[in-house]
Amino acid sequence: PLLRCARDSAAAPSAPLRAPPFPPARAPLVFALPLAAAMGAPERTALDQAYFDAYEDMSTHALMLRDAPRCSAYARALRAANLEGKAVLDVGAGTGLLSILAAKFGARVVYSCEASGLAAAIGAAAQANGVGDVVKVMHCRAEELELPEKVDVIVSEWMGFHLYHECMLESVLRARDAWLSPSGLMVPGRCRVMAAPVCADAIIEERLAPFADCEGVDLSVFIGPAAQQLLEANPQVTVLEQDALLAQPRCVDEADLHVIPAAEAGRCGDELVFVATREAVCHGYALWFECDFFAKRPSSSGEGADDDGLGDMGEGDEPAVVLSTGPEAPPTHWKQTVVLLPEQLGATPGARLDCAFRLAPDARVPRNCVLQCAVGGSVRELEQEALVEAAAVAAAAA
């Protein structure tokens, strides 16, 4: 039977909507003001402002800075990129970590673009690290950016859960179209969304076990409602063990960030064939992503690229660094995104667990990514369902 599961990833764990102003005590003057006002933030929509305000919550940045695989991958990639004497643009600079690293690795100038109020502090952070004369802070959205020159490298940590959550990639690509030199390098340069069917026993055990027994009291009558709510919930963002996978992972989407059109960012879909490798219950599908970082622009990122912007990798085009957020890699703050099915599937060795996936920005809340999957279905069916839903939303709003 055809099983469909449409989920909006917006409800996956994310940063709080607004951080309180920094306390003035024992803080530099720049922190004594609410950050959004510190540098005269440009006018924005309420949704945009809420998004940027969320990134003034320092606990969000602490989470990312504690992510050793993430930070190490970017540091190694920037070191490998031979930045000596080059102009670099950092899109969505946050705390300025990548801007400062680029400056330390020899960049002639680093344009640090940050739309949130944290822009007010990046210059001080650069100064504290001895690169204040190299890092130039631009307090604006990527689409509002004005630079005095084209840049040789664009670096950005734009990825969200299952890669496209938060839908920031389009902004990065619009900055690329406006400011990257023809032979310039994108960091990262190529990204993939991966998927696999999973046995989610560990998730279910964690969420339902408290109802089995508490201080000798049997509360198992609540297991049914709790299980139903879990199955109806939005995707679960969690860390899976590699043995939770029931088939070889497949690629849902691969994008070459040097050439993919900005209008196509985060819009993808594919019908994947999965062959079960063991006997287990299939509770749903997990998604994660991988990023390739290149030391120089790959020769495949040019005239030889096909309609998807992907050409054959040439000699010397191997990535210098690969960041994986999959179950086989050290855990990151992105973890894995698990979509639970409304009905469990039985898996035996050799059984087919095929599934169609579709990802696209939410027309109602563009920062959200709508993730759909259909067991035994097709991308075309998912697209039709999305059109029907969009029409219903438009009719309700009229």
Give the active site residues: 157, 166
Q: Angle 68-80/97-104 helices, nearest 10 degrees?
A: 30
Burial of 273 (0-12, 13-18, 19+ CB in 10 A): exposed
Burial degree of 229 (CB within 10 A; 0-12, 13-18, 19+): exposed
Residue 5 CA: distances (Å) to CA of 175, 266, 287: 35, 19, 14
Asked whether the beta carbons of 283 and 353 are under 8 A apart, the reply is no
Measured in residues, the chain has a length of 398
Contact 93, 99 (CB under 8 A): yes
CB 323 within 8 A of CB 249: no
Residue 130: closest CA among 101, 158, 153: 101
Round to whole Å and give the CA distance between 231 and 176.
Answer: 40
